[in-house]
A and B are shown apart, each in its own frame.
Chain A
């Protein structure tokens, strides 16, 4: 019998995506949308305990998260001879397996599969036939749209502000982030290299200072 759910289980969202600088233009609005809608992103790069095997860390994040976001848009190699990336589909498989454990709270798990186009990843991962993902077209605004709509359709959030409003809030946040971090002495390079955990902290503080609540619970 698996143990009971983690206290934050129903609000945790496991993020399975690349964490390199080439993906940060999508990751930042994705993180903002998740926090803005009242949820808590869980990412493997948040802790850097070298003594813990990465795969065990990922499994513990999957188990403590009711929701997951898997972005398969970067599994394609760019150059001839370059190996394609297997971590993301592998972690999706781990998540799916947890969800299929016959009893216990892990049966409640739900996930969103994102891709650049609606069906490109299915050509490489035909086992996903019948599982509908959402495309982001490598556009940050479309990622916000896909994620916000998934929270309504699948997480059953009763009400959320429009994708446009969330996007405009994100640009307001980036204005303040730009000014306040500059005042704190951060350079452009520092901002690019900022640990994701620290970035999430700035998002949370900013959202906590907003004048009113903008979402309704599930």
Chain B
């Protein structure tokens, strides 16, 4: 379990989209659309210097953006992967 400092945009059981932290079983906020959830989560991740994982409706990771201020590995640090 390594993705600890990260935010996720994931589909929720009610048909909308939730923004949650890795390892948390509660969402910060829920939205009707994935676009709204991504916009809110991106702003939070930038502010807090976190990785952002955006999941698809199947729960799998569609893409990942890193907003870490201190790169954890050579692949982080340019704000985008």
Residues of A whose CB lies within 8 Å of any CB of B are 24-26, 28-29, 139-142, 145, 161, 163-165, 167-172, 174-180, 206, 209-210
Contacts and interface: CB of A to CB of B under 8 A. Distances in A.
B59 A175 contact: no
B13 A175 contact: no
B1 A164 contact: no
Contacts of B67: none
A178 B59 contact: no
Nearest to A161: B25
A195 B10 CA distance: 25
Contact of A28 (B6, B24, B55, B58): B58
Interface of B: 1-3, 6, 8, 10-13, 20, 22-25, 53, 55, 57-61, 64
Given A141-B13, A179-B3, A171 B58 contact: no
A172 B61 CA distance: 10
Given A171-B55, A175-B53, A178-B61, A164 B3 contact: no
A218 to B, nearest CB: 24
Given A168-B24, A171-B59, A174-B60, A180 B13 contact: no
